[in-house]
Amino acid sequence: MPLSNAQTRDVESILHPYTNLVKHRETGPVIFERGKGVFVFDVNGKDYIEGMAGLWCTALGWGDPVLADVAAEQMKKLAYGHLFAGRSHEPGIALAEKLKELSPFPAGKVFFANSGSEANDAQVKFFWYVNNALGRTKKKKIISRTKAYHGVTIASASLTGLPANHKSWDLPLDFAVFADCPNYYRDAEAGESEEQFSQRMAQNLEALIAREGADTIAAMIAEPLQGAGGVILPPKGYFAAITKVLKKHDIALISDEVITGFGRTGNWFGCETFGFQPDSMTVAKALSSAYLPIAGVMLSPELCDVIEAESGRIGTLGTGFTYSGHPVAAAVALKTLEIYQERNILDHVRKVSPRFQKRLAKLAEHPMVGAAQGVGLIGDIELVSDKKTKGTFDPAKAVAPTFAKFIEQEGLIVRPLMGDRIALCPPLVISESEIDEMFDRYERGLAKGLDWARRENLVAS
């Protein structure tokens, strides 16, 4: 089918992230025109349930008039203001105060950025800055995990544990070291309980620290649940086991809450859901329900005290962005957090998530679904060729992307991930009836995928 004029213009003008650009030239983009609630509509008028809330981010769905009005009002009042050289503005101050109020750990101050990638890049810089200030000049490495996702700047992509983020980019840089991905379904030994698996992960972390030298490691960064590398939930006892190891060796813990922050798992933050307290935290995405770009680094008072003193010694805190704490983005983010409270979004998530998790778990009955797991309003499935052997597919077969296309044909947007996993992460405002409609569309797409896989001899009969 020939490309439309708009599709041709797109192909000739835009470099699309996370896209096979050669194939894209043949297929062209799906072009969306508008959105309302949990639905988006393409230029042909077809409706889709946005089962990924965009990129794990549009928590309040599309078309919220309150946020639009706040943005317009702030643009008229103070369209731009920066935080350099001691300048400030009320939206930035109020948002920082609100984040400190909501913080699950004692937060000292907030540093604003424009994306989770930028914020995690800043996390690395701040820990280097602090350790230089304290005279611990070798304590610079950051532990990440395989299949982790922490962003795409040079520093944050180094911490991302996905091959496509490293190939041909000359990454990762050597400050990044990688611990195990805590994937119980794939990596547990025969007869090993989740708690035993978690203890083994902690022992492996201890061994990694011993090899690298604790005096060379500044921090470990971890998503409460791993997102773009597969919605991989931590097994029972995991964070209790690894935080014990980190504390023993004076290694800080950074919680990357870019996906899990602000209600996604049924609590304000994922670290609360999985029972650990970090030393610093990264927030973005649902911070503004993705209506405007904004992110934040939240640091403990102890870290802030060192940073403040070092800036006095040097004469400045030599970092920041033109749009750090942009007043319009900050005003929208502040109102977003207030809406979460005013509309009792946490209670809503807790009310509807059992329906979401029940329908998700039922997908495990599909002949090609080896695992289906999630928490709150996030989850995924893993496709396998044989349930008994957990057989995997040749990546060249593009099994998960093909299934995702069949699901998209049924009017549901999902996201295929490495390891032939398919994620769901709908807007937090989704209703129980919309959850049922979402999974009805999902199941019809899976049925089409099964027919295709059988024709291609990809699945055990």
Mean pLDDT value of segment 161-189: 97
**Which pLDDT does position 306 carry in this prediction?**
98
Q: How far apart are CA 334 and CA 327, in angstroms?
A: 10
CA-wise closest residue to 286 among 294, 277, 297:
294
Mean pLDDT value of segment 374-385: 98
Mean pLDDT value of segment 390-415: 96
Q: Where are the domains of the chain?
A: 31-63+345-455, 67-342
How far from 294 is each of 36, 120, 202, 405, CA to CA, in Å? Answer: 22, 13, 34, 31
Polymer length of the chain: 461
Q: Please, what is the average pLDDT of the chain? A: 97
**Which pLDDT does position 82 carry in this prediction?**
98
- Contact at 8 Å (CB) between 99 and 107? yes
Q: What percent of the chain has pLDDT over 70?
A: 100
Q: What percent of the chain has pLDDT over 90?
A: 99
CA angle 187, 193, 197 (to 5 degrees): 45
- Contact at 8 Å (CB) between 450 and 402? no
- Contact at 8 Å (CB) between 259 and 223? yes
Mean pLDDT value of segment 193-215: 98
- Contact at 8 Å (CB) between 258 and 284? yes
- Contact at 8 Å (CB) between 111 and 324? yes
List helix spans (H) across 103-143: 116-133
Q: How confident is the model at residue 1 (pLDDT cuts 50, 70, 90)?
A: confident
Q: How far apart are CA 261 and CA 256, in angstroms?
A: 9
**Which pLDDT does position 461 carry in this prediction?**
65
Mean pLDDT value of segment 88-97: 98
Architecture of domain 31-63+345-455: Alpha-Beta Complex (3.90)
Q: How confident is the model at residue 370 (pLDDT cuts 50, 70, 90)?
A: very high
Q: How far is CA 92 from the centre of its chain?
A: 24
Strands 421-424 and 109-113: unpaired
Mean pLDDT value of segment 54-83: 98
Q: How far apart are CA 163 and CA 171, in angstroms?
A: 9
Mean pLDDT value of segment 261-286: 98
- Tell me the two tokens of residue 132: 């230089």
Q: Is the pLDDT of residue 411 over 90?
A: yes
CA-wise closest residue to 82 among 387, 327, 312:
327
- Tell me the two tokens of residue 433: 């009836």
Architecture of domain 67-342: 3-Layer(aba) Sandwich (3.40)
**What pLDDT, in 10s, does the model give residues 287-311?**
999 999 999 999 999 999 999 999 9
Give the position of tokens 């009042």.
77
